[in-house]
Amino acid sequence: MPPQILTQVTPKLAFLLSILIIAIMGVTMIGFGWVPHLSLILAICFLLAVGLFKGLSFEDMQTQMATGVMRGIGAIYLFFFIGLLVAALMMSGAIPTVMYFGFEIISPQFYYISAFILTSVIGIALGSSLTTVATLGVAFIGMSHALDANVAIAAGAIVSGAFFGDKMSPLSDTCTIAASVVGIDLFEHIRNMMYTTVPAWIITALLFWFLSGNTTTSDLSQVTALQGQLIDSGLVHGYAVLPFLVLIILAVLRVNAIYTIICTIIAALIVTYLHSSPDIGQLGGYFFQGYHPAENLDLGDVGGILSRGGVNSIFFTQTIVILALSLGGLLTTLGILPALLLGIEDSLNTSGRAIAAAAMSALGINVLIGEQYLSLLLSGTAFRPVFERLNLHPKNLSRTLEDAGTVINPLVPWSVCGVFISQALGVPVLDYLPYAFFCYLSFLLTILFGYTGITISKTVEK
């Protein structure tokens, strides 16, 4: 059940309070460089003070904050299993094997589309856009100089592919957050995203295909070096892709996400013992701290790529989710979100307008605050009742959040992703922005489909 509304505010006051909250988080994160947790805690303290001024008890507000968290408890639990899964896929060799064979598709004659396709594949395998950018992306930028390729176009291809992978991977935290904040199954969310994501991906691939063919040399020494390091890890085996096959089959069969992940972990453990023999103590270390290659191996950049996963790796994201959902509970119980929606409720009377408003909300939070997770959590919390009122299936909202939240963040120069990517690749955001086709095509398609009604699902009336 949603948090209860314990007090009322006017739309004007709600708007003013919202601006103050955005200012608090924007100034502290962008201006002072705070991590999102501290900014969220400061915003929560501000709202608690507002609640006390309105005559609410701390106990009542705490209860409603907890109620807000309960709406996303599925994501919080699922993150534990995703941390375990990433470690299992690394130690089994599933991810290293996919990466090794993925490098085989690189072609100097079709360099940009090769970069886009490979970062898409590796992005799905890793479930992390920033890891894909910081590792494979950096390698591609180096190759761009060797091939005399346009660095801005290459960066656009890298960002497009990496965020396609982040958006569609069941290992991705943004994917999990978007599904859980609206209360649907992870794989139902991924299947529904394909309606906008696949067309956006195909159009993007065609655009990079047209742009390819202008490179002048074929020096792929960096790729060969990365493949050699993957072989040296001892994790590349043809049979190591078995866990991914289990994951795909169970997802297609619509098995519950946690059950699917557990079965995939079991398959990964079986594969692990086909090529290595970690003891129970080592397994425990891998599952908590993440997999790390043996210290006596000199794996260069690949060593950092393979050192991933574990329960410990998801605590940062989990705590952001808990704090953001608590903030959402306070915004609801203080009447701020309901008052904001009341001010525009008369105009949100069609699926197209509701989807456009949710998309603009996610985009606006990305621009004003620069935080990807908050664009999903706050917009999802705010628009969930609107979609329910219009009898729109919540999977429409989760898809909109990803199309306008997840993939827009790297296009904002002062956002978390924008700052990281520009520093990692050495390419300013405004330089690669025109070529990050997938990111803004996803946004445009979700708006278009909303107004035309294409692929928009309704809930079954009881």
Q: What is the DSSP string of 212-274?
A: -S-------HHHHHHHHHHHHTT---GGGGHHHHHHHHHHHTT--HHHHHHHHHHHHHHHHHH
Is the pLDDT at 98 greater than 80, yes or no? no
Per-residue model confidence as pLDDT tens digits over 247-291: 878 877 777 778 888 998 999 999 999 998 889 999 999 999 988
Closest CA to 122 of 173, 174, 172: 172
Closest CA to 283 of 307, 261, 310, 245: 310
Over the chain, what is the mean pLDDT?
85
Mapped onto helix, strand or coil, the DSSP state of residue 293 is: coil
Answer whether residue 13 is part of any domain: no
Is the pLDDT at 317 greater than 80, yes or no? no
Classify residue 433 by its DSSP letter. G
Answer whether residue 100 is part of any domain: yes
1: exposed, middle or buried (Cβ count in 10 Å: 0-12, 13-18, 19+): exposed
Give the torsion sign (CA, 194, 197, 201, 207): positive
Mapped onto helix, strand or coil, the DSSP state of residue 428 is: coil
Rounded CA-CA distance 135/125 in Å is: 13
Is the pLDDT at 390 greater than 80, yes or no? yes
Answer whether residue 67 is part of any domain: no
Structure-model confidence comparison of residues 24 and 337, the more confident one: 24
Is the pLDDT at 462 greater than 50, yes or no? no
This prediction's pTM: 0.74
Answer whether residue 97 is part of any domain: yes
Q: Write down the pLDDT at residue 92.
A: 92
Per-residue model confidence as pLDDT tens digits over 338-366: 887 777 767 888 889 999 999 998 898 88
Closest CA to 169 of 72, 95, 270: 95
Q: Write down the pLDDT at residue 460.
A: 66
Answer whether residue 228 is part of any domain: yes
Please state the φ and ψ torsions of residue 426, each to the nearest 5 degrees: 75, 25
Domain count of the fold of the chain: 1
Per-residue model confidence as pLDDT tens digits over 163-209: 998 899 887 888 888 998 888 888 899 999 999 999 999 999 999 99
Confidence band, pLDDT 50/70/90 cuts, at residue 297: confident
Is the pLDDT at 85 greater than 90, yes or no? no
Per-residue model confidence as pLDDT tens digits over 441-452: 999 999 999 999
Answer whether residue 365 is part of any domain: no
Give me the domain span that covers residue 82.
74-314
CA 412 to chain centre: 15
Answer whether residue 98 is part of any domain: yes
